[in-house]
Chains A and B, each alone.
Chain A
Amino acid sequence: MLSLHEYEETYLALGVCVEANVPVILWGPPGQGKTSVIRALAAKSKRHLEIILASIREPQDFAGLPSIVNGKMTLVAPDWAQRLAETDSGILFTDEVNTAPPSVQAALLRVCLDKVAGDCDLGSDTGVIAAANPPEQAADGWDLAPPLANRFCHLDWSLPVEVVRMGLSGQWPTYDFSKPDPGKLQQDLASERAVVSGFITSRPDLVTALPDSSAEQGRAFPTPRSWESAALLSAFVTAANLSEGVRRLLLKGSIGVAASAEYITYRNNLDLPNPEQVLANPDDFTLPTRADQIYVLGAGILNVLSRDATVPRWHAAGTVLEKIVEGGHPDMAVSFARQWLKIRPGNEIPNSAVLRALVPLLTEAKLI
């Protein structure tokens, strides 16, 4: 069950997917107001909406009905496809995709990927939204085949008690954000792509990582395609000035939990100074404000120092420790200092400012 705050973020994440035209799938038990929310989103952005129940459809409803005309076979598209093709940026919402038989799911694949139904081109501006009941909740549920699963951003959907309470009193909550400026979005997308390239260069094993367990393969996992949509969605969040929580949901939904957690950590530590540069010019550097960032930086500095512990570099690290003490984290400095003292070159004496900060704490902790 989502909390009210998580519901708000999921709602916004759905909105981002719709705006950014990234196919999105909502996972949740029946009766959670998924259809009403999508109706509201479509109405808000004045887009034409087609709602289809995949489980009661046949493959020809998505792949087109084969028909022979003058000895040639054409795939005749159903009316909903023709309506979507005629309107600009319509939205196709297919409900209960995972209770549809495999051949229907296979037919859906091309609709979601290429926005083509039979011989009818829906237009690349068409948005695709799907909804599914988790297989363990649907009586004859199928898991999504990995190729179909990988095309979607996966969001878990359920209604918190508070939302139902508000809804019953006549006011279903809606959440809105202002559309980002297209120019800014392009800029943010370029920089987000650069970050993604940097990340996958350092973690090539995460470019494509099919989950071990077959059941997880029906959800989000990293592939070059899902990295692409992850970059777009994350750039959208930056451009639209949305919360980090929305970014987390979207990244998790596109590339899976493990890859997104690592990517977010990498992304957050990008603006930290380079440890080598800090050791070269310890006086010029300013301490990050957050304790966890200071820790990451300190650990990085000790790590590069341990590989090449010359006298000036060792003293430079000492200056950093002093700054950590001054920044109000003497205990963290002591934790680092214990490692720092172990890699002391020769019999160098730490400068007095560092010692002044360290001695009382080490004594109190009975470490000296």
Chain B
Amino acid sequence: MATVDHEKSSAARLRIMAARILAQARWPYVSTLLYSLKLVESDPAEISTMAVDTGWRLYYSPDFVMSETPEALATVLLHECLHCMLEHGRRFEALSTEDKDHSVWNYAGDCAINQILDDAHMPWTVVTPVRYKNIEHQGVDKTMPTEAAYAVMIEFRRQNPEEPKARDCGSVSGGQNRGYELEPEDPNSPSTSINQKDNILDSVASAVIAAQNNGDDIPDGIARIARDRLEPTVNWKKLLAFNVRSAISNVAGRRDYTYARPSRRQSSINSGGANFIFPAMRQPQPPCVGIVLDTSGSINDETLDIYLSEIRGIFSAVGVSSGLWVLPCDSKVHEIAKIKSFDLTKVRIQGGGGTNMAVGVAEALKIRPRVNIIVVLTDGATPWPTKKPVGSILYLAVLTTKTYEQYVPSWMTPVVIEE
């Protein structure tokens, strides 16, 4: 595989190193990863462009390298770094799917990566990167996680076997080791161990977060990878469910034991001569819940519908299926309905102009029998009640926009939901 053309070989090495310097200058926070990639020259017959293996060794064709400018090669290098950062290899393995489909997975991963690079305006020259627009016809859109895009693409290919094969970025993006790869214990370029890779990815993520706290401009995609690694955000459904569950246990208590009242079995046990004390069970009435829904138009119907059904699902999962009231509210409250008979489309016609959730809260307090929990679902751009209404009622403010979280009164529990 060694090429006889030493001059070309060293020129290619110089260029790829120059590219690495440019790539480092663009995204300094990926430095430790970028410089950990071990450069291995390969036979152009085996690798037409560049590839990385699971041990983070970067194989390149000198012909390809010499055909590109250092600026464009820097973009390709960052592309390979993103395969590492997004852990495409591990994620493909976790799918436990057929190994032969790794090129399809690679295609889906490439689109996600190139989206991040395009957002950061990275230059390309000779190579035309694959983008989401190339797979739109297969039913993939760019909001999909790579796993979902892969599933869609596999299904499409099953129905359209003539779809051309995708290119490969090496085993870093999943699948068995490729034929051209070095042995894991190659003396000159040993592969990077899983733990070392994890440590490097951690340090990259820390560097990204440090740079972001420092006020540097970080591409969204990169910031998201770092956050997912170090500060995994809790899914809003989980957070909402958690808050609903603890609200219910606080307002009404659920099935639980208490020593505050004697057990119903107590008398019969004691009459038998024993002197044990048993706790009583208590299960109070399920709480009533008022859901104040912002129908002022700042949240679209479809989104509103998703959130509403999620809230309903959470309440019914914890055993509250009746006593759920919906109060459609813009500047005033429209017809209050039980959640089961609630129809969003009818409400929307009534809506229009102004937002005031304080009105909705005041109206929810008038419902009889009294509500124990009030959930306000809004984007957050609304006046709030100026002081806490009297009564031991729990308030959840479900916001669709994080910016307005700071305006939520302190006696309400905010939950920010994001898709």
Residues of A within 8 A of B (CB): 1-3, 5, 58-60, 65-69, 73, 76, 101-104, 135-136, 139-140, 142-143, 160-161, 213-216, 218, 243-245, 248, 257-258, 261-262, 264-265, 268, 290-292, 294-296, 299, 329-332, 334-335, 338, 360-362, 364-367
* Chain A min CB distance to B2 (Å): 18
Closest B residue, CB atoms, query A267 = B199
* Chain B min CB distance to A93 (Å): 22
Determine if A335 and B24 form an interchain contact, defined as CB atoms under 8 angstroms apart: yes
Determine if B18 and A331 form an interchain contact, defined as CB atoms under 8 angstroms apart: yes
* Residues of the A chain whose Cβ atoms lie less than 8 Å from the Cβ of B38: 291
Chain B interface SS verdict (over half) = helix
CB-defined A-B contacts under 8 Å, sample of 11: A58-B279, A65-B277, A66-B276, A103-B256, A140-B317, A244-B193, A258-B230, A292-B196, A331-B24, A332-B24, A360-B14
Contact A365-B19, Cβ < 8 Å, known A215-B234, A264-B199: yes
CA distance A160 to B200 in the complex (A): 26
* Residues of the B chain whose Cβ atoms lie less than 8 Å from the Cβ of A3: 90, 93-94
* Residues of the B chain whose Cβ atoms lie less than 8 Å from the Cβ of A101: 254-257
* Residues of the A chain whose Cβ atoms lie less than 8 Å from the Cβ of B20: 331
Residues of B within 8 A of A (CB): 14-15, 17-22, 24-25, 31-33, 35-36, 38, 70, 90, 93-94, 96, 193-196, 198-200, 202-203, 205-206, 229-234, 237-239, 241-243, 245-246, 249, 254-259, 275-279, 317-319
* Residues of the A chain whose Cβ atoms lie less than 8 Å from the Cβ of B259: 66
The CB with the most chain A CB atoms within 10 A, among B21, B33, B195, B198, is that of B21
CA distance A361 to B203 in the complex (A): 27
* Residues of the A chain whose Cβ atoms lie less than 8 Å from the Cβ of B237: 136
* Chain B min CB distance to A168 (Å): 15
Determine if B242 and A332 form an interchain contact, defined as CB atoms under 8 angstroms apart: no
CA distance A107 to B241 in the complex (A): 24
Determine if A65 and B17 form an interchain contact, defined as CB atoms under 8 angstroms apart: no
* Chain B min CB distance to A107 (Å): 9
* Residues of the B chain whose Cβ atoms lie less than 8 Å from the Cβ of A102: 249, 256
Given A76-B276, A332-B24, A334-B21: 4 more A-B contacts, CB < 8 Å: A265-B199, A291-B35, A292-B35, A366-B70
* Residues of the A chain whose Cβ atoms lie less than 8 Å from the Cβ of B96: 1, 160-161
Contact A258-B231, Cβ < 8 Å, known A1-B96, A244-B195, A335-B31: yes
Closest B residue, CB atoms, query A329 = B35
CA distance A288 to B18 in the complex (A): 23
* Residues of the A chain whose Cβ atoms lie less than 8 Å from the Cβ of B239: 213-215
Contact A216-B234, Cβ < 8 Å, known A68-B277, A103-B258, A331-B18: yes
CA distance A71 to B196 in the complex (A): 64
CA distance A112 to B31 in the complex (A): 44
* Residues of the B chain whose Cβ atoms lie less than 8 Å from the Cβ of A291: 32, 35-36, 38
Contact A290-B196, Cβ < 8 Å, known A142-B245, A257-B232, A365-B21: yes
* Residues of the B chain whose Cβ atoms lie less than 8 Å from the Cβ of A215: 234, 238-239, 242
* Residues of the B chain whose Cβ atoms lie less than 8 Å from the Cβ of A268: 199
Determine if A135 and B31 form an interchain contact, defined as CB atoms under 8 angstroms apart: no
Closest A residue, CB atoms, query B56 = A291
Contact A140-B229, Cβ < 8 Å, known A3-B90, A335-B24: no
* Residues of the A chain whose Cβ atoms lie less than 8 Å from the Cβ of B277: 65-68, 73
Contact A60-B32, Cβ < 8 Å, known A103-B257, A257-B232: no
* Residues of the B chain whose Cβ atoms lie less than 8 Å from the Cβ of A1: 94, 96
Contact A261-B279, Cβ < 8 Å, known A136-B238, A365-B19: no
Contact A214-B246, Cβ < 8 Å, known A67-B276, A160-B96, A265-B202: yes
Determine if B195 and A292 form an interchain contact, defined as CB atoms under 8 angstroms apart: no
* Chain B min CB distance to A163 (Å): 11
Determine if B230 and A257 form an interchain contact, defined as CB atoms under 8 angstroms apart: yes
Partner of B14, one of A142, A218, A361: A361
* Chain B min CB distance to A55 (Å): 11
